[in-house]
Amino acid sequence: MEKALSGIRVLGATRMLAGPYAEILLADMGAEVLHIELPGFGDEHRHSYPQINGVGTCFLSNNRNKKSITLDLRTPEGQQIFRDLAKISDIVVENNRPGTMAKWNIGYEQLKEINPGIIMTSISGYGQTGPYRDRTGLDYVAQSIGGLMGMTGMPDGPPMRTGNAIADSLAGMFAAYGTLAALHYKQKTGLGQYVDCALVDSVAAILENLVPNYDLLGLKEKRVGNRIAWVAPYNTYTARDGYVVIGVTSNNLWDKLCRAMGREELIEHPNFATPSARVLNVDDVDEAVQAWVSHKTVEEVVLILAEAGVPSAKVHGVDTMVEDPQIKAREMFVETEYPGLGKFRVPGIVPKLSLTPGSVDSPPPTLGQHNDEIYRGLLGFSDEKMKALAEAGII
């Protein structure tokens, strides 16, 4: 079945997480992604921990559906090969330090001279402009300066990062979004363009009403743990065998929760009858909900509240999450394999397209697995040239 991005070629000079994640999103929808790696070493995530048989699991998770070619972009010969590939590609994705690609003579201004329709997407910590552009970027730093850490954590504790590298993933998503917008414009006009995506920008873009609250109401963020400052009850509660989240965002849901708990007297109680009253008395609200939850299993709570129409869910660990019937029904983890490692699961496809659905068709590539296919088949390199390039360490 043809996919939405079939026929689109992506040249990926990326490493670690943010850039490779942008590549995944394009590859899953059918783009041919050439993931360029350093000869003899590869993407750093091949070597990051944890590992199995010498292969980093982060690489295994973030590089399915791609083709791996080795190429040393630091050399003039490698840069010329990159330009040759850029001539016959639609998109370049890179996440090196700002200015690196231009220093290597393969920046956007240089590439558009040989391919005016090329789209080049750059992902960096701080972006290509601004006083911090040359600083070293990192997910942790982006969560901090972008404002996310300041609003995350318990009230009496320090700022906390999210459990995963959310800034890297967000940057990959925004980069793919910008790339597809540029691709749509190119299909209308024939013109390529440059897409500048930063980790910090990506974090700042998802802060919801944090800044309007500050501008219009003078409110600064407060760390409230699993609560939401303007809603109650909205928290994590301890059942007999685990944790469950419950969220009540309206009087209608409060009525349903009280009836489900057998506490109808709380519905019209003056301390709980309105959203603002429940927020002012949030500790008492949480105490009432916790008292009900504490005598039940997580499954009992979730089933009772599902029947009542109140949002709730089990707090999964990875072992139970991958077996959740909803997760399985949506095929959110699918099997793939890697030489010597056997089968394992990687994240499935988001979103689901009705006519041209994405899929996980090929496992993460071994280092340089597709050199022959691309260099001999696509660029027409001879055996002699392949041998010379390999001996010189260029591929």
88's tokens: 């016959």
Q: What pLDDT score does 119 carry? A: 98
* pLDDT tens column, 75-96: 999 999 999 999 999 999 999 9
> Tens digits of per-residue pLDDT, 8-57?
999 999 999 999 999 999 999 999 999 999 999 999 999 999 999 999 99
Rounded to whole angstroms, the Cα distance separating 311 from 32 reads 41
What are the CA-CA distances from residue 264 to residues 259, 271, 295 (Å)? 5, 14, 18
Biggest distance spanned by C-alpha atoms of the chain: 85
Q: Checking DSSP bridges between strand 51-52 and strand 55-56, what pairing results, if any?
A: antiparallel
How buried is 142 (Cβ within 10 angstroms: 0-12 exposed, 13-18 middle, 19+ buried)? buried
pLDDT digit string, tens, across residues 203-213: 999 999 999 99
List the beta bridge partners of residue 9.
Answer: 32
Place of tokens 């013109």: 191
Q: How far apart (Å, rounded) are the C-alpha atoms in residues 305 and 244?
A: 11
The residue to which tokens 């390529």 are assigned? 192
Is residue 121 within a helix (H) or strand (E), and if so which, with residue range? strand 119-124
pLDDT at residue 192 greater than cutoff 80: yes
> Residue-wise over 215-226: b if at least 16 C-beta within 10 A, else e?
eeeeeebebbee
Supply the pLDDT for residue 229.
87
Cα(296)–Cα(104) distance, rounded to whole angstroms? 62
**E-assigned strand segments in 248-347:** 312-314, 333-338, 342-347
| Mean of all residue pLDDT scores within the chain | 97
CA distances to 100, 236, 296, 376 from 233, rounded to whole Å, are 50, 9, 18, 63
pLDDT band at 120 (very low <50, low <70, confident <90, very high): very high
Instruction: Point out the catalytic residue in the list 43, 90, 168, 286.
Output: 168
Look at residues 6, 35, 28 and name the one whose alpha carbon lies nearest to residue 183: 6
Confidence grade of residue 194 (pLDDT, cut at 50, 70, 90):
very high
Percent of the chain scored above 90 by pLDDT?
Answer: 99
pLDDT band at 1 (very low <50, low <70, confident <90, very high): confident
pLDDT digits (tens, 9 = 90+) for 360-385: 999 999 999 999 999 999 999 999 99
Percentage of residues in the chain with pLDDT exceeding 70? 100
Q: Would the pLDDT of 185 be above 80?
A: yes
Quickly count: other Cβ atoms within 10 Å of residue 38's Cβ.
18
> Which structure tokens are listed for 385?
């040239």
Give the list of residues 6+ apart from residue 345 with CB closer than 8 angstroms, or none.
322, 333, 334, 335, 336
Average pLDDT over residues 292-321: 98
SS3 328: helix
Closest C-alpha among 322, 367, 319 to residue 60: 367
pLDDT digits 0-9 by tens, 214-263 = 999 999 999 999 999 899 999 999 999 999 999 999 999 999 999 999 99
The pLDDT tens digits for 334-360 are 999 999 999 999 999 999 999 999 999
Instruction: Give the pLDDT band of residue 190 (cuts 50, 70, 90).
Output: very high
Alpha-carbon distance of 251 to 281, in angstroms, equals 15
- Residue 241 among the catalytic residues: no
Q: What is the dihedral of CA 22, 27, 28, 29, to 10 degrees?
A: 100
For the segment 285-289, the average pLDDT, to the nearest whole number, is 98
User: Tokens 């390199």 label which residue?
Assistant: 381
